[in-house]
Amino acid sequence: MATTADINALIRLRLKTIRRSRQLNMRQVASRAGIPISTYSNIETGITGSVAAAKLFQILEAMGAEASDVWPYANLSEILQIERDRDLRHQEFRISELAQMFRARSTALLVLEEGRASILLSAGLSPETELRVASYLELGSDPGGETYLLLAGGKKFILMISGPGRDLGRTLVDYFLERFAKAFSEDALLLEAAKDRHPQP
């Protein structure tokens, strides 16, 4: 049976999907709904545990959506899994795209939390190499290649790019790293789903 937390998680995922499909940013939705950006951001990212019905209807109206667009009507856990898998496939495409753009031998996105490194995404790494890279980072050793760091949502995200590759500039790396960190720091379910797909040290 679906819990209140499950229902709220689904509503958040669907609000984000609707917003993106309408090519709106959070600020635009908040402005149209007549609510502060921080309120909308807290609702969509889950900082606000549950959303009041009146506020939900304001947001839906601002995006031109209906309650039926966000309310669960089938097996909730199945729907949540489908949503997470879709979001994860999107992030996997991004890491592959990054590897191609840099002509890199391999790329990986890791998160370091409380001294534990977890691979979230990778392209061109075997499971054994993924474990080795995560172990090196946990020990504070250099895993090889170029590494870039970003703190987001209280987590340290690490993007690793291994040569031979080409230099397309730090701006492009920062762009990808910020997008990855935003996706995984805002959605704890997506973070856990990504960790589940890779062996952990």
Domains of the chain: 4-73 (1.10.260.40), 83-196 (3.30.450.40)
CA distances to 41, 137, 186 from 47, rounded to whole Å, are 8, 29, 9
Over 90: is that where the pLDDT of 27 sits? yes
Residue 88: per-residue pLDDT: 84
Confidence of residue 64 (pLDDT cuts 50, 70, 90): very high
Over 70: is that where the pLDDT of 6 sits? yes
DSSP strand E in 32-172: where?
104-113, 116-123, 146-152, 155-164
When the pLDDT of each residue in the chain is averaged and rounded to a whole number, the result is: 82
Residue 3: per-residue pLDDT: 65
Over 60: is that where the pLDDT of 189 sits? yes
pTM exceeding the 0.75 threshold for the entire prediction:
no
Over 60: is that where the pLDDT of 2 sits? no
Decide: 49 and 63 in contact? Cβ < 8 Å. Answer: no
Over 60: is that where the pLDDT of 1 sits? no
Over 60: is that where the pLDDT of 76 sits? no
Scored b (16 or more CB within 10 A) or e, 132-158 reads: ebbebbeeeeebebbbeebebeebebb
Q: What residues does 157 pair with on adjacent strands?
A: 111, 150
Decide: 151 and 158 in contact? Cβ < 8 Å. Answer: no
Query: What's the alpha-carbon Rg for the chain, to the nearest Å?
Result: 18
Residue 89 makes CB contacts below 8 A (sequence gap 6+) with none
CA distance 26 to 63: 11
Confidence of residue 30 (pLDDT cuts 50, 70, 90): very high
Residue 33: per-residue pLDDT: 94
Q: What is the mean pLDDT of residues 143-160?
A: 83
> Over the stretch 86-122, which tens digit does the pLDDT of each residue have?
788 888 988 998 888 888 888 899 998 888 888 999 9
